[in-house]
A = this chain, B = another copy of it.
Amino acid sequence: MYLCCMQESSTTRTEVGQLGEFGLIDRLTKPFTPNQPTTIKGVGDDAAVLDTGGDQFTLVSTDMLVEGIHFDMMYTPLKHLGYKAVVVNLSDIYAMNGKPSHITVSLGISNRFSVEALEELYAGIQLACETYDVDLIGGDTTSSNKGLIISITALGSVDKDKVVYRSGAKVGDLICITGDLGAAYLGLQLMEREKQLYLDQPDIQPDLEDQKYLIGRQLKPEARKDMIAAFAQNSLKPTSMIDISDGLASELFHIGKQSGVGAYLEESGIPMHQDAKMMALKFQMDPTTCALSGGEDYELLFTIDPADVDRVRFLPDIYIAGEIVPAEDGFTLHTTGGKRHPLKAQGWNHFDQ
């Protein structure tokens, strides 16, 4: 009576790819309602927000990275991978205007990995812990049938009056972006191409020396700790914020949906590194599309009240790229050519692959 439970009890079969990651999460978590008085914000932002007593809220965020889906061991050094796995989680804590403090790291590992290889991975985790001043406080280690799985949970804190959600954008707010976009995606394209070339001709080692910027953005991204510090120093509290992990367009849709607003972006305001623009053209791709849909930049997308414009105008590495508009005006891109295109949330969907 217990065997073969994989036989579907339901007569309908909906494929996960039909819903996409966010549609799936919405559907699975809908029946859950928070009951704990300590839950300030549950599912649906970069991190959950808890009131565990004291002056600050506790922030909790978690991410899972799977070999073959999120990384390719052919071109990902283990130390870089460990570093990146931590950074992507910390980025979610910063996106709440918070400060990360602790992580747990769970690993699923196939017997392909030696202890020495795992020490390399942990050297990267340790470097990230030191760089961002967080403590490793626990985890789980288990075997896996296939490949490497890394699941990290990050905890942090934020002053109760400083927490920033995705839902706070108001019509007229200015849209700001830190750093530059598209480079991590183009670094990935570059390494994928070199991998194919190498597989075809293993005796030729690729020379990627002049593409250090793009490759570095993909393999060893940083979270914008410095920006959160700059906000505090300049008494700036964004009205909404999200980190750019899936691509600018997708993140802007999250802010729009949760704030009940629309937005326009000025194409000329979207920051890109010269190397990323060049590489996009080399791959015969539109640079702006790479910035809008590329993902993995781990920059911050945030909105500010227009009265705060002077607080960001003179901060380095922040770019004003558009404005929040009423929901009925939707999401548009104002191109450098003077046209208006509807934006699409083409964020990276690993269920489509």
Contacts and interface: CB of A to CB of B under 8 A. Distances in A.
Contact of A138 (B62, B74, B133, B351): B62
The 8 closest A-B pairs by CB, nearest first: A53-B54, A151-B151, A48-B137, A14-B115, A10-B116, A64-B106, A153-B153, A42-B137
23 contacts: A1-B208, A2-B194, A2-B206, A2-B215, A10-B116, A13-B114, A28-B118, A31-B123, A34-B137, A42-B137, A43-B137, A50-B137, A52-B58, A62-B140, A64-B107, A64-B140, A65-B142, A66-B149, A67-B145, A69-B144, A69-B145, A70-B142, A143-B350
A75 B2 contact: yes
Contact of A155 (B60, B78, B111, B144): B60
B151 A24 contact: no
* Chain A interface mostly: mixed
Contacts of A147: 145-146
A176 interface: no
Interface of A: 1-6, 8-10, 12-19, 21, 24-25, 27-29, 31-32, 34-36, 38-39, 41-43, 47-48, 50, 52-56, 58, 60-70, 73-78, 101-102, 104, 106-109, 111-120, 122-123, 126, 129, 133-147, 149, 151, 153, 155, 157, 191, 194-195, 198, 205-209, 215, 219, 350-351, 353
